Amino acid sequence: MSRSPDHPIRVNLEKCGGCVHCLTACPTRAIRVRDNKAQVLGDLCIDCGECIRYCPNDAIESRTTSFSDLRAFRYKVAIPATVLYGQFGNDTTPNEVLSALRHEGFDQVFELSSICELYASAAEEYLAAHPQPRPLISTTCPVVVRLIQRRYPSLCGLIVPIEPPREIAAKILRATLPGVLKLAPEEIGLIHITPCPAKIVSINRPATMAKSYLDGAISIRDIYPRLLQALKKIDESTIMHHLFPANVFSGLGLGWSLSGGETRGLKKHRTIAVSGVRDTIRVLDQVEAGQLKDVDYLECMVCPDGCVGGPLAVENRFITKSRILRLVSMASEKVGVERADFGPFVRENFLSFQHPVKPIEVPLLDPDPVEAIRKATRRDELLRLLPGKDCGACGAPDCLTLAEDIVRGLADLDDCPLFRKEIR
Amino acid sequence: MEEDLCYRQEYSLKGGEFARAGEVSRRIKDLLKELGLDVQVVRRAAIASFEAEMNVIMYAFQGTVRLAVTPADVTIIVDDHGPGIPDIELAMTEGYSTATREMRELGFGAGMGLPNIKRNADVFRIVSEPGRGTRLEMTFARDGRPS
């Protein structure tokens, strides 16, 4: 296995066939094929998982929390993304899914949809109290936060300083459980269940606090077979209806796994919902060019159609979307979460970032401005020599990237098979 | 010669090509970031070049954008073949616009373009010959605004 440190994306070298699918799929041009195997460049990777989606050999994997890691905790709480409810047959209810998680060894399961509603009301308040700057950008998608830190440093200040629902939920549990259970905080494991490869990064290296309130993230892919088995075993008598009566499910919150779900809760403001990594990049480019100042709130989700399109989900996103929409229509729109409902634990700033999102430096062409100008000029000259087919045969995703790798000393003009053929 | 060191790039624009609007300024912005320019300088250059690009797309037949980056500053010169601007002073007034209804419906033509360029550039020059075209020249000092 090879992977760059700090990133969950890794290439299974036995399965990797050295083709170019992941190269062209990567929106930040972070993959190269060397010695017939794909390599992920950690400085450029934003953990979006597009490569996982496009690899025909299923050779790109995401490192998430394993079931054996859970043994470290005496009390385990699962905090599933609401996408999980749409992964099973049409007749499977959220209650059954939550019960299946308990069956699989979680001592408690925390339902997130009401917390999404709480976030929406906090965001509404924040927008009203801060008429400038615009547009403010949602924090829900960790890849968007990472993308902004790296590629749009000037937009860091536009990120709404409210922690995403998964972290708010974990923070509430952190504040309440140790006292209730009489356990030391480290004995309690708070585990997110997710379709997203980037959540583990947001837990291990959070952008807005010293330490995440979550202890790990298990992918839906990994837990799916177990839940499927558990669902067969549980019957009406083992479903704990009393724990999750119908009125805990917020229609508004359940819809958050779909693009536009979050903005739906912000009725008083002008909002835009974007999904898909390339469209997100396009819209963030517009924001950086000073457009969209008349928009209050921008929801960007890098997965197609929102979290339902997460690369670590099992069911295809169209079916998931249909099931989630059905759940949304069956649940009441709001369960009436007020910040006050969380009692003494929701003090002022309870939902806020510990510190603002800070830019992450990206590798420049050269740290020396004079040398950088030379390299940019040389790169353009090289680009004119290259065939412009963007075929990926050299191991870089396109001719421009090869030219750039050459001036950085990472590749050679001879790496291009078409160039070699021409000079012969 | 160190003083002669300069990165040059040229981009062409076509009037009416709204579908590609923003492409040139985005490329300029990405390049300036790679060259390690200050975030705020990149931001101002991106905004100003976007406005200049839109002016060509909205009003002119065609245009060229020439970018020159030296260790000291960034210069962007936008030349267009177009109707030109008869009264530059008036065109520089905030809110003044000759945009058509269609352009306004697309969210452009609020009459802030030229004033916005002037506000964001450290040095700004505009020359126009009615019936022939317009030239905008903007310079951004690498280490922020000159005092």
Q: By CA distance, what is A378's nearest residue in B?
A: B7
The pTM for the full model equals 0.90
The residues spanned by each domain of chain B are 2-141
Q: What is the pLDDT of residue A3?
A: 43
pLDDT at A141 > cutoff 50 = yes
pLDDT at position B87 over 90: no
pLDDT at A338 over 80: no
Q: What is the pLDDT of residues B56-86, one digit of tens each?
A: 999 999 999 999 999 999 999 999 999 999 8
Average pLDDT over residues A25-43: 95
**Does the CB of B71 have a partner CB in chain A at under 8 Å?**
yes
Q: Where are the domains of chain A?
A: 1-62, 67-345, 368-424
C-alpha–C-alpha distance, residues A173 and A180, integer Å: 10
pLDDT score at A264: 93
Minimal CA separation from A373 to chain B, in Å: 6
The larger pLDDT score, comparing residue A85 to residue A335, is at: A85
pLDDT at A11 over 90: yes
Residue A247: pLDDT above 80?
Answer: no
Asked if B130 reaches chain A (Cβ–Cβ under 8 Å), the answer is no
Q: Which residue has the higher pLDDT, A8 or A155?
A: A155
Q: How far apart are CA B111 and CA B137, in angstroms?
A: 19
pLDDT higher than threshold 60 for residue A342 = no
Residue B142, chain A, CB below 8 Å: the answer is: yes
- B34/A365 touch (CB, cutoff 8 Å), yes or no: yes
Q: What is the pLDDT of residue A282?
A: 94
d(CA A102, CA A354): 32
Q: Give the model's pLDDT for residue B6.
A: 94
What φ, ψ does residue B122 adopt, rounded to 5°? Answer: -80, -35
Q: Which chain A residues are within 8 Å of B69, Cβ to Cβ?
A: 373, 376
Q: Mean pLDDT of all residues in chain A? A: 91
Between A302 and A420, whose confidence is greater? A302
Could you tell me which chain A residue has the CA closest to the CA of B20?
A: A282
Instruction: Enter the DSSP assignment of A185.
Output: G
Residues in chain A within 8 Å Cβ distance of B29? 285, 288-289
Report pLDDT for A4. Answer: 52
Beta strands in A56-153 (DSSP E): 60-62, 75-80, 108-109, 136-137
Cβ-Cβ contacts under 8 Å between A and B: the total is 64
Query: Domain B2-141 belongs to what topology?
Result: Heat Shock Protein 90 (3.30.565)
Asked if pLDDT for residue B147 goes beyond 50, the answer is: no
Top CATH class, A1-62? alpha beta
| Closest CB from A285, A289, A369 relative to B71 | A369
ipTM rounded to 2 decimals: 0.86
Best of A374, A377, A383, A405 to mutate (most B CBs within 10 Å, chain B): A377
Give the model's pLDDT for residue A333: 83
Q: What is the CATH number of domain A368-424?
A: 1.10.15.40
pLDDT digits (tens, 9 = 90+) for A265-313: 898 899 999 999 999 999 999 999 888 999 999 999 999 999 999 999 9
- Asked whether the beta carbons of residue A373 and residue B22 sit closer than 8 angstroms, the reply is no
Between B5, B42, B116, which is nearest A373 by CB? B5
Residues in chain A closer than 8 A to B43 (CB atoms): 154, 288
**Is 50 exceeded by the pLDDT of residue A103?**
yes
* pLDDT attached to residue A235: 79
Query: To the nearest whole angstrom, how far is the Cα of A420 from the nearest Cα of chain B?
Result: 27
* pLDDT tens for each residue of A362-385: 889 999 999 999 999 999 999 999
In this structure, what DSSP letter does residue B104 have? Answer: H
In this complex, is the C-beta atom of B41 within 8 Å of any C-beta atom belonging to chain A?
A: no
Please give the helix or strand (H or E) that residue A272 lies within, else none.
strand A271-275
Measured in whole angstroms, the distance separating CA B31 from the mean position of its chain's CA atoms is: 15
Q: For the residues A357-363, what does the mean pLDDT come to?
A: 89
Asked if the C-beta of A332 comes within 8 angstroms of chain B's C-beta atoms, the answer is no
pLDDT given for residue B93 in this prediction? 83
Q: What is the pLDDT of residue A348?
A: 64
Structure tokens at B11: 């981009």
The answer, yes or no, to whether residue A346 has pLDDT greater than 90, is no
Q: How far apart are CA A151 and CA A138, in angstroms?
A: 16
On the question of pLDDT at A422 being above 80, the answer is no
